[in-house]
Structure 1
Amino acid sequence: MTGAALIDLDCERAWLRDLGRAFGGALLFGLPLLMTMEMWEAGAAMGPGRQLAFLALSVPLLWGLSYYAGFSNGGGVVSDGLDVAVALAVGFITAAMLLVLFGVIQWGDPAGEVAGRLMLQAAPAAMGALLARRQLAGGDDKDDGDEDKASYPGELFLMAAGALFLALNMAPTEEMELIAYKASPLQILGLMTLSVTLMHLIVYAAGFAGQEEHGRPVAAFFHFTLPGYAIALLVGLFVMWTFGRVADQGLAELVSVVLVLGFPAAIGAAAARLLV
């Protein structure tokens, strides 16, 4: 066998290995959502407008994740675009296969409901596919140099991605609204304080880019923690709108629910650097 043929064979094996990891990451990240009844109902209830808005947010988010932690080792715009396309395909295939096996999607279901369920489930599964190289690869396959290429806007982007992932896991459940209903304003304030405190501890411990320049927790608090918490709240509000929960809430109730959802979203935002 010639050297060129051996190189092609190695490339094919590497691609199949990356594809296998992508399916593993999609399953690992997507399974909690795929087996959640509220996600099935939310997907079926999504109108075309919210489906398009969710897709419009998901694609650039996945593109950014591909840049920082794509499941293949390629680089550049074309490679990142291919990673996104493959990740979305993996997400849709994983979601469709499992939802059919679970009996959630059946023959004869309205096309709009099927599309909403698949779209809502495929995006987080695609996130898992893109993060598979970081989480499932062996030490020799990980490209540790990627961790240092995130600029300050890039770090905030990664925070948004982490916030979205955990917010998607929590937002469909009725417990978010129940907690907001049962908690007093003082308890909501305490939850906000806890959210910011834990977020700051995780952010500072995770070693976000740029901290080496100042090395001071107070500077990191204003540079990363407060902007990150604001991003987490905005992500929580968007997710609530995606699930159609905004129109049914009064202003005070909506603020309480978003602040409750901001707790897991803030943890996800702070932990994003640990995942990517």
Structure 2
Amino acid sequence: MDTLSLARTRESSRTFAVELARAFGGALIFSLPMLMTMEMWWLGFYLERFRLALLVGLNVPLLVLLSRYIGFRDSSCLLDDLLDTFVALAVGFVTAGAFLLLFSVLERGMSWDEVVGKVAMQVVPASIGAMLAARQLGIQETEKGARDRGYGAELVYMVVGALFLAFNLAPTDEMVLISYQFTPWHALLLVLASLVIMHAFVYAVAFRGQEAVPEATPVGSLFLRFTVVGYAVALLVSLYVLWVFGRAEGMGVAQLLMAAVVLGFPAAVGAAAARLIL
């Protein structure tokens, strides 16, 4: 191997090592609140395995889409996105398993079913954090991030932001408790507050990263295409997470909608914040 080839190999290895370190950092940042939450430990123990498998399984296409829009590197085909997804999942499993061991959540004598369940519960936020590490922890924005800022990317970012905050709060009893205390007027006011806050976050208040809106764009169109659609995304994510975590058991339709509106508030904030940050 000549000197030039050796230098390129070393540079490639160094770049991969840096990207992998960023991925582990992103996985830890995103999963840490849940790694240290007792409700998440218990969910890994008793949650129906079909729902847990579905949760991890549906995370795969989300990671593929994230890789398409962000990812570790500029990919040109589906295979590259699948490889990025595999790396993100592997980093998520390793990060979750290592810190659950460190926190003594995983102990000798536990069944493999319980160990896998507790680790798998943490893989979703950890793998998303690993995938986002290139954008959040890197020095420069990749060409991919600058090129693919379209409506599809916006929707994916909103799903990720909504899922992250909903994932943090859905296991807690407070979400259900608040929904039982609600009246229809409380729910209506919270829906309105969610819509106003979402719109203000991205378009009205001068946050860094706020969207630049062409002057000719009608306000109504902007509100419907992004804010209303984003809130619908937040509600759907909330319903999905409530169902997956078993929080919807025994609820009627009206009460489930109340719980979705309550959880939809932080999910909407997360969706709006994600559009700013990502």
Question: 5 Å matches for 1:139-158?
Answer: 139=140, 142-143=141-142, 146-158=145-157
The secondary structure found in structure 2 opposite 1:212 is: coil
TM-score scaled by length of structure 1: 0.92
Q: State the match for 2:128 in structure 1.
A: 127
State whether residues 66 and 131 of structure 2, in contact with CA within 8 Å, keep that contact through their aligned partners in structure 1.
yes
Q: Which amino acid aligns with 1:21?
A: R
* Residue 57 of structure 1: aligned partner: 58
Contact 1:134/1:275, CA 8 A, preserved across alignment: no
Aligned pairs for 1:223-242 within 5 A: 223-242=225-244
* Counterpart for residue 68 of structure 1: 69
Q: Report the more deviating stretch, 12-21 or 115-124.
A: 115-124
**CA shift in 2, pair 1:162/1:67, >3 Å:** same
Amino acid at match of 1:138: I
Between the aligned partners of 1:231 and 1:4, the Cα distance in structure 2 is 48
Find the counterpart in structure 1 of residue 250 from structure 2.
Answer: 248
Deviations 1:7-54 (A, max 9, x none): 110000000000000001111111011001111111222222102211
| Letter paired with 1:177 | V
Contact 2:68 2:75 in 1 (8 A): no
1:102 Cα deviation after fit: 1.1
1:213 positional shift: 7.9
In structure 2, relative to structure 1, the CA distance for the partners of 1:274 and 1:4 (3 Å cut) is: same
> RMSD across aligned C-alpha pairs, in angstroms?
1.9
In the alignment, the residues of structure 1 paired with residue 187 and residue 69 of structure 2 have an alpha-carbon distance, to the nearest angstrom, of 35
Equivalent in the alignment of 1:264: 266
Between the aligned partners of 2:156 and 2:127, the Cα distance in structure 1 is 17
- Number of matched pairs: 273
Which residue number corresponds to residue 111 of structure 1? 112
Give 5+ residue unaligned stretches, structure 2.
none
Report deviation, 1:150: 3.4
Q: Which runs of 5+ in 1 are unaligned?
A: none
TM-score (norm 2): 0.92
Corresponding position of 2:190: 191
Which residue of the partner structure matches residue 101 of structure 1? 102
Return the alpha-carbon distance in structure 2 between the equivalents of residues 67 and 214 of structure 1.
30
Q: Which runs of 4+ in 1 moved over 4 A?
A: 205-209
Deviation at 1:155, TM superposition (A): 1.8
